[in-house]
Amino acid sequence: MKTLAGIYIVSYAAGLHILWGVALLCTSFDQWATPISPYFQLFGGHLSVALWLLSISAVALGGKIWANRVVLLLLCLIPQQALLMISAWASGFAIYQQQYADGVSRPFVFIFCDQLPNILAMLAHTGYVVEVTVAAFKQWLNVRKL
């Protein structure tokens, strides 16, 4: 499944997670940035979160580049999908509460416009994962017919 849209979607998500991971490794980047705040509860401190972000990005990019079976590609994309869903949930919660993870309150429209890219990235990636899942299922059906 080497579609151009898929390459862009996976690359965007991986780039986002790589930049967050590098920022966590290079600075005392605060854990209260809304899209990454849940990761600290799941994975621990800065180093642990950074390593998870970088490794999951590497798996997704590696799967997109080298996976020759759609099932393998799907397995490589699921961890990235999980990270995007967690970030989108945090962004949606911030929009709903009209408050960032660090406690700063802003108007609904302000936070909505600020956090919408995280939600759109998750939706685009979800669409691609569904496309890959359908292709994997079709491939499985073809194997079963033989």
pLDDT for 91-146, tens place per residue? 999 999 999 999 999 999 999 999 999 999 999 999 999 999 998 888 888 877 65
**CB 1 within 8 Å of CB 70:** yes
67-to-8, 25, 26, 100 alpha-carbon distances in Å: 16, 29, 31, 38
pTM for this entry: 0.92
57's tokens? 């990005």
Range of 92's domain? Answer: 4-145
Cross-strand pairs, 105: 99
113's tokens? 């416009």
32's tokens? 């209260």
For 49-80, how does the pLDDT look when each residue is reduced to its tens digit (9 = 90+)?
A: 999 999 999 999 999 988 888 889 999 999 99
Q: How many structural domains are present in the chain?
A: 1
